[in-house]
Amino acid sequence: MLIPLGAILGFLPLLLWVERRGAGLIQDRPGPNRVGPFGLLQSLADVIKFFFKEDIIPTHADRGLYLLAPALAVFAALSTFAVIPYGATLPLKRGDVPLIGADVSIGILFVFAITSLSVYGIVLAGWSSNNKFSLMGGIRSSAQIISYELAMTTAGAGVILNAGSLRLTEIVGSQNGTWLHVIPKWNAIPQLVGFVVFFVSAFAETNRTPFDLPEADAELVAGYHTEYSAMKFAMFFMAEYINVIVASAMMVTLYFGGWTFPGFVPHGIVGAVLSIVIFTVKTLFFVWVFVWVRWTLPRFRYDQLMNLGWKVLLPLALLNLFWTAGLIAARVL
Amino acid sequence: MAGFPAERIAFDLAAAVMVVFASVMVVHKHPVKSVLALVVGFFALAVCYVVLSAPFIAAIQVIVYAGAILVLFLFVLMLLNVEVEARIPADRRPLQVVISSAALILFAGALLSLLRREGASVPAGRSGPAGAEIAPLARLLFSEYLLPFEALSVLLLAALVGAFVLARRESS
């Protein structure tokens, strides 16, 4: 349970570095490169800065909720990882240890439930700040997350249908193996449409560009976290990046076979470690895609966002559900 | 459940939290805070479901009620920027007292008579792994309870069409 938690928190400064240097790479400039080798210690310097900044609570803010909001955001982001399997079974002398925080029977629903709660952190921050820009950010966020959650869960239903289980370990297990000895049995291949819907919705759920309307700095200053400073701001920042990691891990688990790889059969401790490496590499690929997209695409307009969610993604997700059901009925899958 | 004290304590604690926050929801003067109290109450209810070995219902409870419906409530309250609710004028106070105490008595009576007939204990043989598995639930839903299930979807469709008609712009 503590291992994935430590791993994620350890990855955060590195991810921040990748984001900034990646931005530099894409925009043809160096990016932060002065603190430490290749600017690697820049994130550390920023954390120290956050600790020493003045911690301001606006006079007319709702104090309790204002303090609660960033904690809620981080809590929701972190607790999702408890049910994602990050490796095969680790055989130790005192018995086999499954590499997953808690293998609950409703794994995928647990993830959806917690992501649906993550909106409260943002909405409460927006409302309790007593600032009209923050409020606008909170309102936008609630509308956006509800709209895209529908498409996301409908796309996820296709995966559940294929695995015949809500347990994430069984969803991973159902994607083990190959078709015709070459093509991996990943859900992304028969359910490509479902994956694309899930992928786009994941960007909206994590408030990343091109869907970062809740913070939209050009029009809303910084949206829901305008009034936050010091570590409380850093907590929203952390929550965003943890959500990026979790969304990537979910995409890998649901559509790209989790820790499995065609031809790979985990044996002993080495096998378990290798399975973690496979999972990590797959996840980091999608984390990079998040960074890549952020510095490539401009932000949507609000009406475009709503049209895309309701008129394009939701029908596509439903189509994917029927398509998957058809494949299962025809015994292709 | 009865033999294992830790689960019993978790259930009682969650039930207590639920009752307290449900009361806060009713009593609190600020609509946004009321909604938030209701969120906590729903969460505690989900914990109760988990202890009663029905994790599926618990997850659905959180996704649908805490995660979607109450967010919509908050959305509307924030959009309209509803402030602290207006006090009821003094001349209507007695009427309010009479109606609310009548409701209280009615509710308590119904609850008591239900407890008298069924007893407070969980019927034996009901709990167990059945709640954890989704397949038996789906089988029940699509065989024995098919008609109510379909009737509910028609009801939801009717509500959807109604909302659409109300929200539609008048074309000139």
Per residue in A133-192, pLDDT (tens digit) is: 888 888 888 888 888 888 888 888 888 888 888 888 888 888 877 777 777 778 878 888
**Beta carbons of A197 and A152 less than 8 angstroms apart:** yes
Q: Do A106 and B72 touch (CB under 8 A)?
A: no
Encoded tokens for A73: 């955001």
A90: left (phi over 0), alpha (psi -120 to 50) or beta: beta
**Cα B102 from Cα B99, distance rounded (Å):** 5
Q: Is the pLDDT of residue A236 over 90?
A: no
Chain A residues within an 8 Å CB radius of B78:
123, 126-127, 135, 138-139, 142
Angle, CA of A108, A114 and A119, to the nearest 5°: 135
Q: Do A109 and B67 touch (CB under 8 A)?
A: no
Q: Do B66 and A105 touch (CB under 8 A)?
A: no
Task: Give the DSSP letter of residue A104.
Answer: -
Q: Is the pLDDT of residue A256 over 90?
A: no
**Cα A73 from Cα A251, distance rounded (Å):** 21
Per residue in A15-51, pLDDT (tens digit) is: 888 888 888 888 888 878 787 787 788 878 888 888 8
Task: Give the DSSP letter of residue B67.
Answer: I
Choose, out of A66, A123, A140, A152, the residue to mutate when testing the contact with B (most B CBs < 10 Å): A123
Angle, CA of B135, B140 and B145, to the nearest 5°: 150
Residue entry with tokens 């240890």 = A97
Encoded tokens for A113: 């439930």
**Cα A140 from Cα B32, distance rounded (Å):** 17
Q: Is A28 helix (H, G, I), strand (E, B) or coil?
A: coil
Beta-sheet pairing, A183-184 with A178-179:
antiparallel
Q: Is the pLDDT of residue B128 over 50?
A: no
Per residue in B15-59, pLDDT (tens digit) is: 899 989 988 888 888 888 888 899 889 989 988 888 887 788 888
Q: Is the pLDDT of residue B145 over 50?
A: yes
pLDDT band at B126 (very low <50, low <70, confident <90, very high): very low
pLDDT for position B93: 77
Chain A nearest-CA residue for B30: A62
Helix pair A107-128, B31-51: axis angle to 10 deg:
160
* Helix H or strand E segment including B109: helix B93-118
Q: Do A135 and B75 touch (CB under 8 A)?
A: no
Q: Is the pLDDT of residue B130 over 60?
A: no
Per residue in A77-126, pLDDT (tens digit) is: 888 888 888 877 777 777 777 777 777 778 888 888 888 888 888 888 88
Amino acid identity of residue A61, one-letter, is A
Q: Do B75 and A113 touch (CB under 8 A)?
A: no
Report yes or no: B52 at the A interface, CB cutoff 8 Å. no
pLDDT for position A68: 85
Angle, CA of B143, B149 and B150, to the nearest 5°: 100
For chain A, the first-to-last Cα distance in angstroms comes to 34
Total CB pairs under 8 A between chain A and B: 70
Cβ neighbors of A79 (< 8 A, separation 6 or more) are A114
pLDDT band at B105 (very low <50, low <70, confident <90, very high): very high
Task: Give the DSSP letter of residue A298.
Answer: P
pTM: 0.82
Q: Is the pLDDT of residue B107 over 50?
A: yes
- Average pLDDT, whole number, for chain A? 82
**Beta carbons of A294 and A18 less than 8 angstroms apart:** no
Nearest to B74 among A105, A112, A123 (CB): A123
Task: Give the DSSP letter of residue A39.
Answer: G
Least confident interval from A202-206, A261-265, B84-88, B111-115: B84-88
pLDDT band at B121 (very low <50, low <70, confident <90, very high): low
A230: left (phi over 0), alpha (psi -120 to 50) or beta: left
Per residue in B87-98, pLDDT (tens digit) is: 666 677 788 888
If one counts every other C-beta atom within 10 angstroms of the C-beta of residue B124, the result is: 7
Chain A nearest-CA residue for B63: A113
**Beta carbons of A107 and A169 less than 8 angstroms apart:** yes
pLDDT for position B131: 47
Helix pair B31-51, B70-80: axis angle to 10 deg:
170
